[in-house]
Structure 1
Amino acid sequence: MSRSPAAPHEAITAERTTAPDDTCAIEAQALVKTFASGRRREPIRALDELTLRVRPGEIFGLLGPNGAGKSTTVRILATLSQPDSGSVRVAGIDALADPAAVRRSIGLVSQKPSAAPMMTGRESLEMAARIHGLDRRAARRRTNELLDRFGLADAADRLTKTYSGGMNRKLDVAIGLVNRPAVLFLDEPTTGLDPEARAQMWAEIARMAAGHEQADGTRVTVLLTTHYLDEADHLSDRLAIVDQGRIVAEGTPELLKSQLRGDSVVVELADTAAADLAAARLAGHPDLREVTREGRIVRARTDHGAAVVPSALAMLEQSGVVVASATVARPSLDDVYLRHAGRAFEAVA
């Protein structure tokens, strides 16, 4: 999905700090965060000098495998955790000096459900609205708006424990939007959803980015963490790939993919034991380069697309290597990750 460049935020509200047009909506500088890992073990360095800048009004994707540091970054940006060192500004506010002001300016949709299972959807939204300072009448009005928008009006008075996974996730996002935030953090918002529910969530995220959430048409800045490469490719204006607490690649999806010359050839072998031999043989092919192997998968790049596959398969067959499948495709975000982090993206269970 292509969109025009993000428009800068206009005035946010009297309760928020208005940032000049040339400032970032989110700015993290040299973040370090460590966690204890037991008496005799070295601390785990979750963030290692991570630096991140998100422009006002854009959707910014944060990608990485489990343990890469994505959720730790979101928790620090949302003032739920403090870094060991580094600086953080969100919506023009110093998050370490004035976390309360940041919380008034943001919405957060975490991986865990935010609604109490023994409350109704309506009660959950109204409570969130009151916590954010809306009076009873305004809270009821905002609740009705969000119930209608997310298609939850018919289930509004049911206990949330009876909701499906997709309905609960919609409710979580609605709660995150109840205060009309300038910045919204979505931490893996579609994990576990079926394809239809994922598509609906994508549509809502795009709607926010288009400026339909705020009364004045201001575009909400969205920071989205996800395991799904297609999701990041589809939604993000820009994205960053995180590995071992560092940003290893950053840019628009098209820019990152365009930096990889040629097509990707992926060969899946019938037997892992033959992987080293297969990689060695393909490395000797005159039209293949950047040959890597991971388990039963051998990858390479080529300028000749599908034309090179028959000869590559013939080389493997002559060496007694049994191939289960072979594909050729244009560069993908998985190829980008492989280039920068040295391995393919982890599969999501």
Structure 2
Amino acid sequence: MAAIDKGLALVSVADVMFFNPTTDDYIGEGLALTNSTLTQEVQTIEQRGGYLNALLFNIQHSKTVTVELESATFKMEYLAFQTGTPIISGLSGVYKFDECVTIQNGAGELQDTPVGNVYVRMPNGAVKTIIPTGKNIDIGEASFSGSLQVVYQYNAQVDQVTIDTKTQPLTVKAVMRVHVLSQDGIEGYIQIIIPRLKFNGSISLSLTSDAVSTFGIGGTAQEYADECGDSYYADVKYINTASTENIAVESIVASPNVLTFSLAGVHEATANVIGLRNAPYTNVTLNNTDLTFQSQADETATVTEEGLITGVQEGKTTVTVSYQGLQDIITVNVEA
């Protein structure tokens, strides 16, 4: 009985890198992303008619690819991507939450220089508003000594993202890596490359009391045209680190199949050999170093190990190309 093929499993989107789609500059990275999805949807129009309004045919006319990334870590870049604004570094006013200050004879010194008033929580629960002098405060009770909690605003070096009303979310090139596992360990990786991912501008900060909070970002793949004008949304590449998978070549085809040389002009050419595979795999261009070439008549035409065919004298011969038990014939005509 044949062994059961348990197949492979995709486990966790471990890394996502973001690049500028126009300059290909690296602009950010997401780590330890969990619950991430890549969804393809095809829009369909149904045509019904006849007896019982039966389905006659449907038209699939539109395709969308959406990406949702839920991160287990927080980065300011995620906010910047979704809002479309750069991260600004500089001095800005932030709030000090419940700093503990030692008061001696009604006076104390703060850790930072306040901007505006200082609010002091007294032992009886009342909050006093104090106008500071530099870092120093006086609560107006010379007989009091002890520790009090204060709240105030001060200037600090911060990274800031402003969610304004005008800027749009960024468009980036996204590269995701997914672990491919078998029962024996890591077999490889799948890389999903989306040349133009437009973030949807939806910011989701899940702030729960009983778990680590997460940050979600998402977007839609935009149509991307290559230099030949062909359009697509994404590439999925399987990197097989185990190097055990090899899609068999069923037959080989030398291109061109017939070579005609004139001794008065250019009379050499390198063979180009294509390996044909079963669907849905595309054909592959074989490396000439993996092939063997043999000329039937060296006095008419010679061939090197690299597949360079050279016409020698007028006549007709053939060159046999071999690859893993498969063969094809190139007809060579040499004219004076």
Task: Name the TM-score, length of structure 1 as normaliser.
Answer: 0.22
Task: Looking at secondary structure, tell me which structure has more strand per residue.
Answer: 2
Which one has more relative contact order, counting CA pairs under 8 Å at least 6 apart?
1
TM-score, normalization by structure 2: 0.22
- Richer in helix (by share): 1
Q: Which of 1 and 2 has greater Rg?
A: 2
